Amino acid sequence: KNEVEQSPQNLTAQEGEFITINCSYSVGISALHWLQQHPGGGIVSLFMLSSGKKKHGRLIATINIQEKHSSLHITASHPRDSAVYICAAKETSGSRLTFGEGTQLTVNP
């Protein structure tokens, strides 16, 4: 069992739909990262959070430390949002990040 699990693995949506991607982790963490990876491999950091909620444009990330769960929401989705979304947990002890396997999002026009 991976220490960081994401669901769903694949998600297809129509333009304009509200999207939720989930991340659960089994270790104690001090921070959780949400990353976006476009075809060709470039990874962009979207959020880093340790509690509560953050918002940037149409993207919202939430985390519940007690439940060891985080969600990434995309409002009014657009085809350019199509990418792989990865969550990564920074464990309380040590410096490494443990990555989920990613969620492939496809938004159709």
Partner 1 sequence: GAGVSQTPSNKVTEKGKYVELRCDPISGHTALYWYRQSLGQGPEFLIYFQGTGAADDSGLPNDRFFAVRPEGSVSTLKIQRTERGDSAVYLCASSLTGGGSSPLHFGNGTRLTVT
Note the residues at the interface with partner 1 (CB under 8 A): 4, 30-31, 33, 35, 40-45, 48, 50, 86, 88, 90, 94-102
Nearer to partner 1, 17 or 90 (CB): 90
Q: How far is the CB of 20 from partner 1 (least distance, A)?
A: 19
The CA angle 22-75-49, to the nearest 5 degrees, is 50
Instruction: Answer for the pair 31, 94: CB distance below 8 angstroms, yes or no.
Output: no
Nearer to partner 1, 11 or 35 (CB): 35
Alpha-carbon Rg of the chain, whole angstroms?
13
